[in-house]
Chain A
Amino acid sequence: MEFIVCKYNYWIYIVLMMIGFYAIIGKKNLVKKLVGMNIFQTALILYFVSTAAKKGATIPIVSHGHGATEHAIHAAQYVNPLPHVLMLTAIVVMVSTFGVALALIIMIYRRYKTLEEDEILKATK
């Protein structure tokens, strides 16, 4: 029981990742594959941010401002900021790949007049 309580966050994110993964390999429409890729990347970002949590800690903004450090800053009071920083970069990369992938889909539609994977593969043979 303790095993389930300590690790159930990883299992939820793994279920979300597998939903996205099934959409990438199981669907035939190109736009649906792209939506699956987006779900996969979002689940990955949530997974990394969940490893940053600490019991009883607050958000990583030092509360009394700069210039007066009367209170000592303990690392156990604040949530680990490093995964948050890395996931900001990951979100920007997610948006960039989504934009370029949609541009490529528009080009494919102009050329082949269809968006189904098997029809495109048949047209290129």
Chain B
Amino acid sequence: MKFLAFIIVIITGALLIYATVDMPDWADPYSPASTHVSPRYIEKTVEETATPNIVTSVLADYRGYDTLGEATVIFTAAVCCILLLRRTRK
């Protein structure tokens, strides 16, 4: 069983390393992740939101809806732990 798991892990690792041939180089300023909408966030954040921290302004203002979902996820995890485990002795 462990030998089979080892084979599967080696095959998956080889496929992933083969897939990195097409990826952009490390620290490339013209990679596709850095050239569509993120230059607009970097250049316009101080004049539109008066917040020097670009990560906070993107997290809470430009992508605020995702942060609402994330707060709901951590709230749901706390409620799940209470519902699963809590036993009060009467």
List chain A positions with a Cβ less than 8 A from chain B: 6-11, 14-15, 17-18, 21-22, 25-26, 50-55, 57, 60-67, 69, 73-76, 78, 80-85, 88-89, 92-93, 95-97, 99-100, 103-104, 106-107
Contacts and interface: CB of A to CB of B under 8 A. Distances in A.
Interface residues of B, number: 53
A85 B55 contact: yes
Interface of B: 1-2, 5-6, 8-10, 12-13, 16-17, 20-21, 23-29, 31, 33-34, 37-39, 41-43, 45-47, 50-55, 58-59, 63, 66-67, 70, 73-74, 76-78, 80-81, 84-85
A10 B34 contact: no
Contacts of A60: 42, 53-55
Given A14-B20, A25-B9, 9 more contacts: A7-B20, A7-B23, A10-B17, A26-B5, A60-B42, A81-B55, A82-B37, A85-B58, A96-B74
Chain A at the B interface: mostly helix, strand, loop or mixed?
Answer: helix
A67 B49 CA distance: 11
B9 A22 contact: yes
Contact of A76 (B5, B26, B29): B29
